[in-house]
Amino acid sequence: MTSNKTLSQWVAQVARHTQADKVHWCDGSDAEYRDLVKGMLATGMLAELNRTTHPNCYLHRSDPQDVARVEHLTFICSRSRDDAGPNNHWMDPAAAHAKIDALFAGSMRGRTLYVIPYCMGPIDSPLARCGVEITDSPYVVANMKIMTRMGKAALQRIEKEGKFVKGLHSTGDLNPERRFIMHFPEELSIKSFGSGYGGNALLGKKCHALRIASWQARSEGWLAEHMLIVGIQNPQDEIRYVAAAFPSACGKTNLAMLIPPASHQGWKVWTVGDDICWMHLGEDGRLWAINPEAGYFGVVPGTNPKTNKNAFDMIRHDTIFTNVAVTADNQPWWEGLKDGTPVTDWKGEPYKPGNGKAAHPNSRFTVSAKQNPSYSPHAEDAHGVPISAIIFGGRRAEMTPLVYEARDWTHGVLIGAGAASETTAAATGQVGVVRRDPMAMKPFCGYNFADYWNHWLSFNKRSSKLPKIFHVNWFRQGPDGKFLWPGFGENLRVLRWILDRCDGKAQALSTPIGFLPADGAVDTHDLDVSAETMRTLLTVDREKWQAEIRAMQEYFQGYGPRMPAKLLAELQATQTALAK
């Protein structure tokens, strides 16, 4: 099946240990995808949706106890606990292997073992990296076919390079008591058991492209980040690229597919990626980015022609829906859709308004990037796209301004490291509590955050042409709980200020937390936002910020002596400026 001995021996050993019935090597063809779908329709793992309105669309209902990432069951198993850091759950590698191997024993009895060779990034890109996922879930195979460059070409690259990340996955019996997502960065391997959902099971995504890749990136001198990548084209047809980090379910997909409002004729936004960004320093000193993924695993609720017309249009065909509701005529339905009425909820039960949401808040679509009307023609460029600005963000109802700019790279790293956000339904646990989520990487950094910030800081010595760094917050609320900023397409106004700042054009005021737009510098023409609201969105509340700085200091203390002194000094400087 392959000329790579390590791979063939590993597959044989796993097949023996899991006692799989059959072994299927995925070739990634469309015919293979169709066969998988046929098989899943027969077993009920998928249901076909309305063929007329949604051709080639299918619904998968996951186990109701398996609907999101499980951070408390996710481990980094490095030899040294300190290398994983206080930001990760850690387990000793030998103990972790023993624990999870026991669960894998016999777990594929009666099942087919699928071998999925995949490539993260354009297949011909020197920045791309390959992996192989072994799984017993045909649903995972179908999703990996959409989300990655999977099959023959990836296997050929693996055989040529001889190197790949090993990912072993079994859904087991889906019992949350027997569920673990384990990463062995020193062995470039992943073992995931007991979940069939999203980032727990599609191992190319968060497990490989973020946790393992961030570890690799550190030793090889690049960055693996939880960021969207977009190209912004102005009326002069110049395109500039920005990368933006937001926690899961904070609108990355919407921003990545933004449609300029009517007031912005001649502008256009191109999607390069909506979730993950790998950045390398180019010979020209700029950061060049690729999207390692080939598809989107996006949050469905809230998707409609107003919030994200591109996504709305692209999921009308050839899409896998997971955990949405359905209408009487078998169309997918979710909260935020104007038309249609749900009759069956995400669990497959008759929908009753008193029983909670019809679609699960973390219900997802899986769709190929090629179906996105705004897919950038440069998204497949082997060397990536050059990044002009990096944006950090989060969901903060209070305090954090709409946008501000870092004084320099080091200050920008502090802004990213100090970022916090309200939790969302993308992970199990309480929703809506503010937690520190540095660079939106809290659940995804495969090593000690203190070392990670040091790695970020090190770029300053390597180049004088790094992107400018910004922070945004689309989620400020007034006393009535209503959002102060309209968001969605109107966010282009903020992106314009950011790009103008990169060109040294837009006006800004220097404040203790960084540069904020001067009065009127964010264009609000044709926008129903009062000058007073803009002032609220763009002022620094010193008292609240002083408390925020203290919270950051406390948080950073948790990283002990590994904490970069430069960041602490930068934080101290901010605190002093706020006290003046």
Which residue stretch of 72-80, 198-206, 335-343, 455-463 sits at the interface with ligand SAT (rule: CB under 6 A)? 198-206
Looking up tokens 């005021």, which residue turns up? Answer: 509
- Does residue 36 bind ligand SAT (CB under 6 A)? no
Residue 66 partner contact from ligand SAT, Mn ion, none using kind-dependent CB cut-offs of 5 to 8 Å = none
Q: Which residues of 539-562 are buried (b: 16+ CB within 10 A; e: fewer)?
A: ebeeeebeebbeebeebbeebeee
Phi, psi of 176, deg, nearest 5: -60, -20
- Does residue 193 bind ligand SAT (CB under 6 A)? no
**Of residues 437 and 548, the one with the C-beta less far from Mn ion:** 437
Q: Choose which of 117, 185, 199, 384 interacts with ligand SAT (CB under 6 A).
A: 199
Q: Choose which of 248, 371, 374, 491 interacts with ligand SAT (CB under 6 A).
A: 248
Task: List the one residue out of 469, 363, 474, 471 whose CA is nearest residue 419.
Answer: 471
Distance of alpha carbon 156 from alpha carbon 539, whole angstroms: 55
- Does residue 208 bind ligand SAT (CB under 6 A)? no
Looking up tokens 């309305």, which residue turns up? Answer: 50
Looking up tokens 């809230």, which residue turns up? Answer: 302
CB-closest chain residue to ligand SAT? 199
Task: List the one residue out of 186, 106, 122 whose CA is nearest residue 370.
Answer: 122
Taking the complex as a whole, the smallest distance from the CB of residue 207 to Mn ion amounts, in Å, to: 12
DSSP letter string over 141-209?
A: HHHHHHHSEESHHHHHHHHHH---EEEEEE-TT--GGG-EEEEEGGGTEEEEES--SHHHH-TIIIIII
Residue 205 partner contact from ligand SAT, Mn ion, none using kind-dependent CB cut-offs of 5 to 8 Å = ligand SAT
Taking the complex as a whole, the smallest distance from the CB of residue 220 to Mn ion amounts, in Å, to: 23
Which residue stretch of 31-39, 199-207, 327-335, 568-576 sits at the interface with ligand SAT (rule: CB under 6 A)? 199-207
Distance of alpha carbon 141 from alpha carbon 146, whole angstroms: 9
Task: List the one residue out of 97, 88, 169 whose CA is nearest residue 444.
Answer: 88
- Does residue 251 bind ligand SAT (CB under 6 A)? no
- Does residue 344 bind ligand SAT (CB under 6 A)? no
Which residue stretch of 59-67, 197-205, 262-270, 339-347 sits at the interface with ligand SAT (rule: CB under 6 A)? 197-205
Taking the complex as a whole, the smallest distance from the CB of residue 245 to Mn ion amounts, in Å, to: 10
**Of residues 272 and 538, the one with the C-beta less far from ligand SAT:** 272
Contact pattern for ligand SAT over residues 75 through 104, marking x by CB under 6 A:
------------------------------
**Of residues 230 and 538, the one with the C-beta less far from ligand SAT:** 230
**Of residues 137 and 454, the one with the C-beta less far from ligand SAT:** 137
Q: Choose which of 54, 60, 61, 69 interacts with ligand SAT (CB under 6 A).
A: 69
- Does residue 179 bind ligand SAT (CB under 6 A)? no
Taking the complex as a whole, the smallest distance from the CB of residue 523 to ligand SAT amounts, in Å, to: 31
Contact pattern for ligand SAT over residues 401 through 420, marking x by CB under 6 A:
--------------------
Do residues 260 and 267 touch, judged by C-beta distance below 8 A?
yes
- Residues 362-381, interacting with ligand SAT (CB under 6 A): none
**Of residues 145 and 206, the one with the C-beta less far from ligand SAT:** 206
| Percent of the chain as helix, strand, coil, to the nearest 5 | 35, 25, 40
Distance of alpha carbon 256 from alpha carbon 242, whole angstroms: 10
What would the two tokens of residue 524 be?
């609000």
Indicate if 250 belongs to the active site. yes
**Of residues 189 and 195, the one with the C-beta less far from ligand SAT:** 195
SS (H, E, C) 331-360: CEECCCCCCCCEEECCCCCECCHHHCCCCC
DSSP letter string over 507-569?
A: -EEEETTEEEEPTT-S--TT----HHHHHHHT---HHHHHHHHHHHHHHHHTTGGGS-HHHHH
Backbone torsion region of residue 459, taken as left when φ is above 0, otherwise alpha when ψ lies between -120 and 50, otherwise beta: alpha
CA of residue 563 relative to chain centroid, distance: 26
Q: Rule CB under 5 A: which residues touch Mn ion?
A: 248, 275
Residue partners of 309: CB distance under 8 A and separation at least 6: 259
Active-site residue, selected from the candidate residues 207, 250, 277, 445? 250
**Of residues 426 and 450, the one with the C-beta less far from ligand SAT:** 426
**Of residues 78 and 200, the one with the C-beta less far from ligand SAT:** 200
Residue 212 partner contact from ligand SAT, Mn ion, none using kind-dependent CB cut-offs of 5 to 8 Å = none
- Does residue 206 bind ligand SAT (CB under 6 A)? yes
Taking the complex as a whole, the smallest distance from the CB of residue 210 to ligand SAT amounts, in Å, to: 9
**Of residues 127 and 227, the one with the C-beta less far from Mn ion:** 227
- Does residue 497 bind ligand SAT (CB under 6 A)? no
Q: Choose which of 104, 296, 297, 392 interacts with ligand SAT (CB under 6 A).
A: 297
- Does residue 426 bind ligand SAT (CB under 6 A)? yes
- What is the sign of the dihedral through the CA atoms of 512, 513, 515 and 521? negative
- Does residue 331 bind ligand SAT (CB under 6 A)? no
- Does residue 286 bind ligand SAT (CB under 6 A)? no
Task: List the one residue out of 372, 310, 363 whose CA is nearest residue 334.
Answer: 363
Distance of alpha carbon 517 from alpha carbon 525, whole angstroms: 16
Q: Which residues are catalytic?
A: 250
What are the residues binding ligand SAT (CB under 6 A)? Answer: 69, 198-199, 205-206, 248, 297, 426
